[in-house]
């Protein structure tokens, strides 16, 4: 969702900015632009609607813009249609101040009215132009670039990552953030600014995570940080442990396919994060056995796939640890007034920046509840604000549709459930060991499934014209279905629904027509017969049915069009295996239909606005 980059150093800025923006393309965008301070002391701004290539062609890969200090942006429209005019950077009338912005300025209408009263005119419909002109207003008033930005921050409501250049300070980029991600990299006198690490990884692994309401001043030779009172403050330099290759396609046609194939490694790494000397050790997470033993209940919140991982965690945790667990959409939790009883609130998020999940976390903290984040991105807002953090070890996830981060979240959830069960004495030590051994063998089972991907590819080519696809299951299979269905609809654009199998006949079965494809996920031995009966009901209405089932388990012979087998594992972990054919099915359908797999329409990787 929007991408910001900035550079100040000895290189020509424009090519570095374009390169950084290309690494942020995965976040979703509809237009792009760059601004560079030129050697004559002016600011050149070039913007283009559509793909980054249009912008790159307009400035000959950056060669046409001279200057070593610049900012760039990919925009995902919120205020005003996608157009060159609305694209960032935005500037003041004299073109002496220029800015790029992520997020939403909630009181922009009120600020715009105030600026109009002070004689300002507006050329775009964006809140960013308002932000830029507000900085201009305060700069003219105080004649101090830092004070202009701190006054801006005091006046504005909403979320933002803002980067500003002033013509009067030709070798400097200023930046501030609130609830919108921003990192700064440094290397041998050069300074880089970006919304996310992959944008600058080629140049440096030394990164600062900018705190909320911290102002950064990037110059040749280094970065300084200030609070809103303009006192200099310290920030910790962090070394990124993964390399640029981790954020490249590595020979795969799409990031999604690469990330699907990374799942065995991701499961192992996430498991090893807390598996020490034959047992689960949460010391890095910070959660003591005491908290886990006496916690009265658990509330899990997240959005999209993270919420779906939470659903699986609910089934598994209640079954193993006998703790009451509730799972809620973060966007609902944040505006509810739930009755609380000392629960542990778990926020699941790949990016750690999802606005609704961050707000849910804050609302839980305000209620005095302890919070645990299951997060992938190091140093992200949710990770920093939660009391405890379990870092999933998925590495950078670039494809908008999540696969490997979801798999890592599932494993984190299983480990937490086993740990809870073990400290509360609801499972025997023997069963605990069996579960851990089983988790250890999950990666090779996922790898085995991936080897048979051609079977899914073939089925996708046979069903690519389907208009509706349903997924049904019970228990964790239902939770798996919801994720499978989301994956399919978000990248193939085929209408899809997931239903708890028993619920279908309470209305939705009326949608089943001749040829509708219905997948049944059948991995829970006690529930197979029930779900198969529901599938037969859809067959009677003309549906074509397919099953995802554990190998070796005899299914009633009801005439499935296809049965995709998954290796045997403990019943609590089958979602990790059932997810693979569903991810591949969505992927191949998207490819076959000629869609932009990694950047599906209307979607953004990190949803930092409500």
Candidate segments 60-68, 92-100, 174-182, 304-312, binder of ligand F6R by CB under 6 A: 304-312
The encoded tokens of residue 394 equal: 């998925």
Question: 38, 102, 180, 350: which one contacts ligand F6R (CB under 6 A)?
Answer: 350
Asked if 590 interacts with ligand F6R (CB under 6 A), we say: no
For the bound state, the minimum distance from the C-beta of residue 590 to ligand F6R, rounded and expressed in Å, comes to 12
Question: 31, 180, 351, 569: which one contacts ligand F6R (CB under 6 A)?
Answer: 351
Asked if 190 interacts with ligand F6R (CB under 6 A), we say: no
- Binders of ligand F6R among residues 446 to 505 (CB under 6 A) are 486, 490
**Closer CB to ligand F6R, residue 132 or residue 583?**
583
Of 198, 190, 197, whose CA–CA distance to 220 is shortest? 190
* Residue 35 to residue 67: CA distance in whole angstroms: 10
Q: Which residues pair with 183 in a beta bridge?
A: 194, 209
* Residue 448 to residue 442: CA distance in whole angstroms: 10
Asked if 380 interacts with ligand F6R (CB under 6 A), we say: no
Asked if 392 interacts with ligand F6R (CB under 6 A), we say: no
Candidate segments 30-38, 160-168, 299-307, 588-596, binder of ligand F6R by CB under 6 A: 299-307
Asked if 402 interacts with ligand F6R (CB under 6 A), we say: yes
Helix (H, G, I), strand (E, B) or coil at 221: coil
**Closer CB to ligand F6R, residue 173 or residue 347?**
347
Sheet holding 90-91, edge to edge: 90-91, 97-105, 158-166, 172-178, 215-219, 222-226, 232-233
**Closer CB to ligand F6R, residue 108 or residue 414?**
414
For the bound state, the minimum distance from the C-beta of residue 348 to ligand F6R, rounded and expressed in Å, comes to 7
For the bound state, the minimum distance from the C-beta of residue 405 to ligand F6R, rounded and expressed in Å, comes to 7
For the bound state, the minimum distance from the C-beta of residue 490 to ligand F6R, rounded and expressed in Å, comes to 6
Helix (H, G, I), strand (E, B) or coil at 219: strand
Indicate if 530 belongs to the active site. Answer: no
Question: 102, 195, 606, 608: which one contacts ligand F6R (CB under 6 A)?
Answer: 606
Of 526, 475, 519, whose CA–CA distance to 494 is shortest? 519
- Which residue is catalytic, options 2, 69, 91, 303? 2
- Which residue is catalytic, options 47, 404, 599, 605? 605
**Closer CB to ligand F6R, residue 260 or residue 303?**
303
Tell me how crowded residue 602 is: count the other CB atoms within 10 A of its CB: 9
For the bound state, the minimum distance from the C-beta of residue 356 to ligand F6R, rounded and expressed in Å, comes to 8
For the bound state, the minimum distance from the C-beta of residue 22 to ligand F6R, rounded and expressed in Å, comes to 21
- Binders of ligand F6R among residues 85 to 144 (CB under 6 A) are none
Asked if 607 interacts with ligand F6R (CB under 6 A), we say: yes
Asked if 270 interacts with ligand F6R (CB under 6 A), we say: no
Asked if 349 interacts with ligand F6R (CB under 6 A), we say: yes
Question: 306, 374, 411, 528: which one contacts ligand F6R (CB under 6 A)?
Answer: 306
* Residue 16 to residue 10: CA distance in whole angstroms: 11
Q: Where is 473: in which H helix or E strand?
A: strand 468-473
For the bound state, the minimum distance from the C-beta of residue 488 to ligand F6R, rounded and expressed in Å, comes to 11
Window 146-185: contact mask with ligand F6R (x via CB under 6 A) = ----------------------------------------
Asked if 575 interacts with ligand F6R (CB under 6 A), we say: no
For the bound state, the minimum distance from the C-beta of residue 496 to ligand F6R, rounded and expressed in Å, comes to 13
**Measured between alpha carbons, how far is residue 281 from residues 4, 286, 320, 495 in Å?**
38, 10, 18, 43
For residues 266-287, one letter each, b for 16 or more C-beta atoms within 10 angstroms of the residue's C-beta and e for the rest, the string is bbbbbbebbbeeeebebeebeb
Count of residues binding ligand F6R (CB under 6 A)? 15
Asked if 191 interacts with ligand F6R (CB under 6 A), we say: no
Indicate if 605 belongs to the active site. Answer: yes
The DSSP secondary-structure symbol of 210 reads P
* Residue 479 to residue 466: CA distance in whole angstroms: 23
The encoded tokens of residue 332 equal: 């609902």
Dump strand ranges (E) for 64-138. Answer: 69-75, 90-91, 97-105
Tell me how crowded residue 601 is: count the other CB atoms within 10 A of its CB: 11
Candidate segments 45-53, 74-82, 345-353, 467-475, binder of ligand F6R by CB under 6 A: 345-353
Dump strand ranges (E) for 146-304. Answer: 158-166, 172-178, 183-187, 190-194, 206-209, 215-219, 222-226, 232-233, 237-239, 275-276, 279-280, 298-302
* Residue 91 to residue 220: CA distance in whole angstroms: 23
Active site residues: 2, 605
Give the interface with ligand F6R as residue ranges (CB under 6 A): 303-306, 349-351, 354, 357, 401-402, 486, 490, 606-607
């Amino acid at each position: 969702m929007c991408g910001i980059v900035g550079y100040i150093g000895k290189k020509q800025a424009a090519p570095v900015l374009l390169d950084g923006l290309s690494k942020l393309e995965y976040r979703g965008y509809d237009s792009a632009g760059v601004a560079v301070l030129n050697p004559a002391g002016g600011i050149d701004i070039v913007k283009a609607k559509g793909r980054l290539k249009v912008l790159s062609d307009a400035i000959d890969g950056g060669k046409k813009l001279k200057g070593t200090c610049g900012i760039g942006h990919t925009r995902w429209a919120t205020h005003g249609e996608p157009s060159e005019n609305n694209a960032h950077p935005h500037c003041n009338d004299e073109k002496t101040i220029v800015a790029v912005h992520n997020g939403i300025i909630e009181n922009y209408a009120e600020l715009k009215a105030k600026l109009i009263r002070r004689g300002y005119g507006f050329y775009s419909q964006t809140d960013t132009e308002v932000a830029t002109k507000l900085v201009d207003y305060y700069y003219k008033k105080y004649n101090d670039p830092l004070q202009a930005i701190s006054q801006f921050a005091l006046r504005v409501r909403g979320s933002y990552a803002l980067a500003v250049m002033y013509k009067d300070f030709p070798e400097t980029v200023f930046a501030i953030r609130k609830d919108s991600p921003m990192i700064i990299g440094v290397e041998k006198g050069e300074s880089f600014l970006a919304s996310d690490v992959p944008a600058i990884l080629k140049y440096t692994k030394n990164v600062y995570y900018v705190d909320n309401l911290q102002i950064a001043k990037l110059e040749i030779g280094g970065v300084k940080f200030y609070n809103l009172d303009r006192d200099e403050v310290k920030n910790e330099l962090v070394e990124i442990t993964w390399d640029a290759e981790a954020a490249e396609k590595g020979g795969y046609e799409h990031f999604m396919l690469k990330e699907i194939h990374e799942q065995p490694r991701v499961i192992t790494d996430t498991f090893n994060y807390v598996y020490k000397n034959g047992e689960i050790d949460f010391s890095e997470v910070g959660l003591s056995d005491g908290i886990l033993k006496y916690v009265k209940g658990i509330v899990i919140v997240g959005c999209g796939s993270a919420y779906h991982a939470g659903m699986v965690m609910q089934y598994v945790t209640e079954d193993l640890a006998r703790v009451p667990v509730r799972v809620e959409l973060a966007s609902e939790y944040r505006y509810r007034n739930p009755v609380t009883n000392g629960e542990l609130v778990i926020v699941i998020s790949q990016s750690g920046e999802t606005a609704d999940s961050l707000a849910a976390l804050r609302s839980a903290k305000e209620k005095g509840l302890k919070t645990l984040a299951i997060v992938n991105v190091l140093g992200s807002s949710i990770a920093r604000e939660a009391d405890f953090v379990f870092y999933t070890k998925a590495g950078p996830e670039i494809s908008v549709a999540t696969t490997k981060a979801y798999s890592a979240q599932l494993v984190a959830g299983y480990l937490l459930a086993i740990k809870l069960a073990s400290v509360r004495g609801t499972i025997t030590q023997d069963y605990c060991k069996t579960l851990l051994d089983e988790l250890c063998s999950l990666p090779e089972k996922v790898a085995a499934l991936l080897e048979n991907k051609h079977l899914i590819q073939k089925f996708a080519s046979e069903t690519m014209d389907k208009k509706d696809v349903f997924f049904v299951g019970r228990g964790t299979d239902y939770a798996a279905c919801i994720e499978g269905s989301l994956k399919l609809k978000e990248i193939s654009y085929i209408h899809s629904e997931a239903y708890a199998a028993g619920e279908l006949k309470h209305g939705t079965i009326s949608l089943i027509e001749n040829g509708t494809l219905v997948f049944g996920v059948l991995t829970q031995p006690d529930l197979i017969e029930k779900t198969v009966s529901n599938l037969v009901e859809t067959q009677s209405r003309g549906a074509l049915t397919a099953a995802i089932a554990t190998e070796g388990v005899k299914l009633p012979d009801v005439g499935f069009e296809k049965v995709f087998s998954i290796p045997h594992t403990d019943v609590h972990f089958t979602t990790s295996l059932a997810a693979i054919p569903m991810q591949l099915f969505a992927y191949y359908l998207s490819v076959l239909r000629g869609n932009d797999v990694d950047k599906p329409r209307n979607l953004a990787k990190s949803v930092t606005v409500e």
